[in-house]
Amino acid sequence: MPQIRLGLAQINPVVGDIAANVDAVIEWSAKAAANAAHVVVFPEMVLNGYPVEDLALRRSFQEASRAAVTQTAERLLAAGLGDLVVIFGHLDYIDSGAEAARLGRPLGGPVNCASVVFGGSVVTRYIKHHLPNYGVFDEFRYFVPGDEPCVIRVGGVDLALAICEDLWQDGGPVARIAQQGVGGLIVLNGSPFEADKDDVRLALVQKRAQEAHCAVAYVNMVGGQDELVFDGDSMVVNERGQLIARAPLFDEGLMMVDLDLPHAPIEEQLRDGTEVAVISAWPAKSYAPLRPGIAVEQTDIQAKYNATVVGLRDYVEKNGFSSVILGMSGGIDSALVAAIAVDALGADKVFGVSMPSKYSSDHSVNDAYDSARRTGLHIRSVPIKDFADTFHSALELTGLAAENLQARLRGITLMALSNQENHLVLATGNKSELAVGYSTIYGDAVGGFAPIKDVFKTDVWAMARWRNALAVELGEIPPIPENSIVKEPSAELRPDQKDSDSLPDYEVLDKLLEAYVEHDLGAEALKKAGFPADMVSRVIGLVDRAEYKRRQYPPGTKISRRAFGRDRRLPITSRWREQN
């Protein structure tokens, strides 16, 4: 059987930075060529970054994208890479009347596309068939779906193309590929991280390989983009579904894989009538294959922690910030965010502020300073008592108004320091408190980014323990004070306040929230699942009434099946109550 060497470029594009993304394609193609690759494959929409949202609809951006495809082909040739087959994803549009008529769409309709470049020009292109329009995806809004297969012949092997969702749909292009009898399927992806998705993804790729009776090479991007983190997890399985090679999660890199694939037929038309774009009909000379590697799997908590690090790192870097600032209460949430920020950016770029009020316990300040000593971040103290006193002398505030005032004086202090010193403010709220509305809008909710907004409180503790254990393993100082992990959670906005005064234990609460928020169970189903009726009623009431706060909460990294934000779209104005 012919040998073929594939390079899977698991890289980190930047949305909108077409010039830099083209540079990256050239640079990684050169690396692939230096490793004697025959074919190098880049992720979905790599020239544009992903997702570009409504930029896909803007004519100027579409034209720039199209120009970049031509430029990439020419630059590859000029760089002596004309013999390498380079496959990359990009935005394009329908430009032929015949295509428009066949798809029943107007000329100029945007498409999510993969181009195959060889010898300085585009040999063929594939348009994504299946457009995801659920969860965080709105691709029916942006793209016209394609309907034609695309098969190239390289080194005597036929390779079919598909893009991301095409692989996930039963009866999608994979069903047709089985009839075509190709040697391999190449899938370009922009598949965001969520917990446990790596397992699902591997099983899916294996299933499709078996269905299509061919090897599958799956290439995914890495890096953060607003609320999404792409985790890579690029892999190759053979036609029996066996995993041959797998790239590490979250790391940018080029994975080289040698495959022996069946020889293509002599005809240029496949059994189902598909015309093959022939680049080279004859096999390469035989050579000694590389030994492929399979990256060690990450545990669930490890992957979640790493996702928050990458999500924060890329939000900061891609938006041009040089540092972050956060309020440090001595509690577990801010201690974990501090550790994440230091891992993402280095301690010198992280600024903590302890802002004690008259209700703050001594350990609040001590634990915040302990966290700073452990991680090396910059810390200072700005007591808010005088601010609060000035307000109280002008406005007579009691109860909730007085509690919220303290949180807001902290928010205003962080924003003032941010404006004065050019830091990005981090909000330190977790998913459990965001769910039930236990955060003060314009108070602790202040921030440009919220690294753990999709992390339930029980996972906050688990991530903290995991990170400290890693430090011990590496012979380093654990970044998170043990005291912050073990102390009882409290907002400290009034004397002796504890989260447990008004909420169930987090072990129970988080399970209930997961069932309601991520699995959409109604009240009856929750009760059937064993949650007490009064708890169900109280908790989902809190969740429903906090929708308006979540709308104004900063963006933060999605790590779960369903994050707050575009993943879960509910009206603010709604009188639907599950207990009705």
319 is a contact residue toward a copy of itself (CB under 8 A):
yes
574 is a contact residue toward a copy of itself (CB under 8 A):
yes
Tokens (6 digits) for 104: 């029943």
168: Cβ contacts below 8 Å, ≥ 6 apart: 130, 132, 204
Q: What is Dmax (Cα atoms) for the chain?
A: 89
Question: Which one from 99, 164, 239, 431 is the annotated catalytic residue?
Answer: 164
Tokens (6 digits) for 100: 């428009």
- DSSP tag of 30: H
Q: How far is the CB of 136 from a copy of itself (least distance, A)?
A: 11
- Over the window 141 to 180, marking each residue x when it contacts a copy of itself by CB under 8 A and - when it does not, the resulting string is x---------------------------------------
Show contacts with a copy of itself in window 192-231 (CB under 8 A).
224-226
Helix, strand, or coil here: 499? helix
Question: Which one from 128, 304, 453, 457 is the annotated catalytic residue?
Answer: 128
Show contacts with a copy of itself in window 407-436 (CB under 8 A).
408-409, 411-413, 415-417, 419-420
* CB closer to a copy of itself out of 229 and 255: 229
**Nearest of 504, 455, 482 to residue 340 by alpha carbon:** 455
Alpha-carbon distance of 409 to 417, in angstroms, equals 12
**Nearest of 155, 213, 216 to residue 181 by alpha carbon:** 213
Show contacts with a copy of itself in window 534-573 (CB under 8 A).
548, 551-555, 568-573
Look-up: residue for tokens 């007591």?
Answer: 383
Q: How far is the CB of 238 from a copy of itself (least distance, A)?
A: 32
578 is a contact residue toward a copy of itself (CB under 8 A):
yes
Q: How far is the CB of 333 from a copy of itself (least distance, A)?
A: 20
User: Is-catalytic flag, 150?
Assistant: no
Alpha-carbon distance of 486 to 508, in angstroms, equals 18
User: Is-catalytic flag, 128?
Assistant: yes
Look-up: residue for tokens 């209930």?
Answer: 512
272 is a contact residue toward a copy of itself (CB under 8 A):
no
Selected from 2, 7, 51, 478, the binder of a copy of itself by CB under 8 A is: 51
Show contacts with a copy of itself in window 437-466 (CB under 8 A).
441-442, 446, 448
**Nearest of 237, 235, 176 to residue 207 by alpha carbon:** 237
271 is a contact residue toward a copy of itself (CB under 8 A):
no
60 is a contact residue toward a copy of itself (CB under 8 A):
yes
Strand order in the sheet with 324-327: 378-381, 350-354, 324-327, 424-425
Surface-to-core class of residue 568, CB atoms within 10 Å of its CB (0-12 exposed, 13-18 middle, 19+ buried) = middle
59 is a contact residue toward a copy of itself (CB under 8 A):
yes
57 is a contact residue toward a copy of itself (CB under 8 A):
yes
Show contacts with a copy of itself in window 381-410 (CB under 8 A).
382, 386-387, 390-391, 393-401, 404-405, 408-409
* CB closer to a copy of itself out of 14 and 462: 14
CA atoms within 13 A on the CB side of 266: 0
Selected from 38, 153, 304, 318, the binder of a copy of itself by CB under 8 A is: 318
Show contacts with a copy of itself in window 338-367 (CB under 8 A).
none
112 beta partners: 91
Q: Enumerate the active-site residues.
A: 44, 128, 164
